[in-house]
Amino acid sequence: HCNQVLDAGVAGLAITMTLLFIACSFLLVLGSVKSFLSQSLPRRVPWAGHAKKNTQELNMVFDFFKKRSEEGFDQLNNLADAVYKGNIGEGLKDLADYTATTNAAFANGLAKSRDRLKQNLELLLTGSSDDLMEDLLDILLQADLGMVTSEDVVQEVKSLQASGQKFLNRDELMSVLRGKLIEALDTGKPRVVQFSETSTIPTVLFVMGANGMGKTTTIGKLAHRLRTEGNQTVLMAACDTFRAGAVEQLEQWADRAEVDCFGPSETAKTPAAVLYGALDMAFKNKYDTVLVDTSGRLSNNDRLTAELAKMKRVIQKRMSVEQDGDGKPILNTAVPHETLLVIDAAQGRMALDSAKVWDKEIGLTGLILTKLDGSAKGGSVVAVSRELGVPVKLIGVGEGIEDLRDFSPDTFVDGLLGIGKAFGGTSNDEAKNLETRLLTMRKERDSQSKTKTSKASTPTPTLSGGAGDLTFEPMDEMTPNTELQPSGAGRPRMGANSSKKKKKKKRKK
């Protein structure tokens, strides 16, 4: 009995030591994380002596949401702080709460679009339609995905159907939809907000959008993120001098975000003059980022479009880094660093026409989608981004100051289709399983295509030359020989058949 107690004690001690070793290792790792984050995210200091954060670090900050959604590893800085203070449990709880809140925001924002699309797809799969492909195209168009993307999906479904298969099953269809929508959102351009790569030049983000799109609200939320996550000193430029109350509204958001705002004065009343004054202040006081609020009008307002183009030239001239032979500044085409268009998700494809005009006249580098939480037209994100060739960079999922998220195509599409437990799906591995299934289906299709191509290129036998000679000639080199030759070896069959036909005609007579 004593030996058993002793053995149990030794075993318990071994387990305890193992757990202590794991805990120490965990603390060391988090200590490294803390050290890394303390270097890349320094404490905020007064703007006068503030050191500018480099572009790579800022891009990392604005790509946090994508990493969080894909890896499920959030709030690294808060967790490291909690560990150092001895509050591991609190840090882990904060991590779980953040992940749940983020997923819930996307799930709620896309609920209307997701429910309508899933209902229509279920009716398609369980119905008895005679033209499933035509019905699928109609469903995708009703989801505001756009004609180009909808037709791409239908063509992919057709190409992946097995021989004799009437239609894909549910998982196969979802795998195709997920894959094609993610591909449609890939414009090949940077999806994270770009920042100045020179410490002497502040970042300028030029924000456009029609009235009612949520432009001013978005600027306020963006300023909050830049200050809290990017540790940036931010200056708002209130250049919307046309709309009554626009300047006051932006000043209120500046107070909420705890940043500065430069507005019109007796000496600077026009949008271009206000902008020039804001840039002067940014250089003088060494601000990190300038957020430019522009006047909101429709794209068919020629006066507004001309004003926007003028404002862009003001930025390029004031931030010039070289001069011509006459000593005049050469326009710096590298600025503004971003020209962002704010689009209301509820408008769907109606916003596309305006976006096309502004992209042509001003040049867009990114889209910000707002009011997703109250819209049933989430699919329009795919159509607008693809047809413009401009990436969606930020997305508004609620009314709160922190409800401006980085746009992740994978997370957005999963939320739209209801894939994964966070969005009402079957399991957390559902997205990965669908991705694997699509790869398998495409490999099978490509393999079958190669087999068919190989069979089609196989040479076929034909008679050629003298009697008894059987040779193979490629199909494209074969030419019919219709000339009648003297009787004997090597007479073409066509000639013989023709002779037989003549004899039959004589007998009939």
Summarize pLDDT for 81-103 with one digit per residue, the tens: 555 555 555 545 554 555 566 56
Summarize pLDDT for 306-356 with one digit per residue, the tens: 999 999 999 999 999 999 999 899 999 999 999 999 998 777 667 788 888
DSSP SS3 for 406 = strand
Q: Which residue has the tokens 């978005």?
A: 218
- For residue 105 the two structure tokens come to 């925001």
| In the chain, % of residues over pLDDT 90 | 44
Average pLDDT, the chain: 78
DSSP-assigned states of every residue in 314-335: HHHHHT---B-TTSPBPP-TT-
User: Do the beta carbons of residue 293 and residue 239 sit within 8 Å?
Assistant: yes
pLDDT at 181: 96
- For residue 120 the two structure tokens come to 């229509």
Task: Kindly state the average pLDDT of the residues 163-184.
Answer: 91
- For residue 136 the two structure tokens come to 């699928």
CA 210 – CA 235 distance, rounded (Å): 22
pLDDT at 110 over 90: no
DSSP SS3 for 25 = helix
pLDDT at 363 over 70: yes
Backbone region of residue 410 per phi and psi (left: phi > 0; alpha: psi in -120 to 50; beta: other values)? alpha
Looking at residue 194, what DSSP letter applies?
A: P
DSSP-assigned states of every residue in 125-136: HHS--S-HHHHH
DSSP SS3 for 62 = coil
Region of poorest pLDDT, from 27-31, 136-140, 267-271: 27-31
**Residue 473, amino acid:** E
Quick one: CA dihedral 446, 447, 448, 452, positive or negative? positive
pLDDT at 453 over 70: yes
DSSP SS3 for 86 = coil
Indicate the pLDDT class of residue 43, thresholds 50, 70 and 90.
very low
pLDDT at 232 over 60: yes
User: Do the beta carbons of residue 304 and residue 295 sit within 8 Å?
Assistant: yes
Indicate the pLDDT class of residue 63, thresholds 50, 70 and 90.
low
User: Do the beta carbons of residue 412 and residue 381 sit within 8 Å?
Assistant: yes
Highest mean pLDDT pick, 7-21, 65-79, 370-384:
370-384
pLDDT at 37: 43
Residue of 29, 49, 23, 51 lying closest to 39 (CA atoms): 51
Q: Which helix (H) or strand (E) holds 32?
A: helix 2-40
pLDDT at 494 over 70: no
CA 365 – CA 392 distance, rounded (Å): 9
**Residue 233, amino acid:** T
**Residue 336, amino acid:** P
Instruction: Residue 461: count other Cβ atoms within 10 Å of its Cβ.
Output: 9
| In the chain, % of residues over pLDDT 70 | 67
- For residue 99 the two structure tokens come to 């992940």
pLDDT at 482: 46
CA 70 – CA 91 distance, rounded (Å): 20
pLDDT at 480 over 60: no
Region of poorest pLDDT, from 3-12, 130-139, 453-462: 3-12
Indicate the pLDDT class of residue 277, thresholds 50, 70 and 90.
very high
Highest mean pLDDT pick, 29-33, 254-258, 419-423:
254-258
Residue of 135, 168, 180 lying closest to 444 (CA atoms): 168
Give the start-end residues of each E strand in 314-403.
338-344, 366-370, 392-396
User: Do the beta carbons of residue 285 and residue 48 sit within 8 Å?
Assistant: yes
Q: Which residue has the tokens 């432009």?
A: 215
Backbone region of residue 86 per phi and psi (left: phi > 0; alpha: psi in -120 to 50; beta: other values)? left
Q: How are the residues of the chain apportioned to helix, strand and coil, as percentages rounded to the nearest 5?
A: 55, 10, 35
CA 398 – CA 218 distance, rounded (Å): 11
pLDDT at 467: 46
User: Do the beta carbons of residue 408 and residue 436 sit within 8 Å?
Assistant: no
pLDDT at 119 over 60: yes
pLDDT at 286 over 80: yes
Alpha-carbon Rg for the chain in angstroms = 33
Residue 347 phi/psi, 5° resolution?
-80, -20
CA 182 – CA 137 distance, rounded (Å): 18
CA 152 – CA 266 distance, rounded (Å): 56
Cis peptide bond N-terminal to 492, omega within 30: no
Residue 244 phi/psi, 5° resolution?
-65, 130
- For residue 373 the two structure tokens come to 């939480």
User: Do the beta carbons of residue 242 and residue 297 sit within 8 Å?
Assistant: yes
Cα angle: 307, vertex 309, 312; to 5 degrees: 110
Q: Is 451 exposed, middle or buried (0-12, 13-18, 19+ CB in 10 A)?
A: exposed
DSSP SS3 for 142 = helix
User: Do the beta carbons of residue 262 and residue 234 sit within 8 Å?
Assistant: no
CA 506 – CA 491 distance, rounded (Å): 22
DSSP SS3 for 391 = coil
Q: Are strands 338-344 and 366-370 parallel, antiparallel or unpaired?
A: parallel
Task: Kindly state the average pLDDT of the residues 399-414.
Answer: 89
Task: Kindly state the average pLDDT of the residues 482-504.
Answer: 47
CA 419 – CA 415 distance, rounded (Å): 6
Task: Kindly state the average pLDDT of the residues 38-67.
Answer: 44
User: Do the beta carbons of residue 218 and residue 342 sit within 8 Å?
Assistant: yes
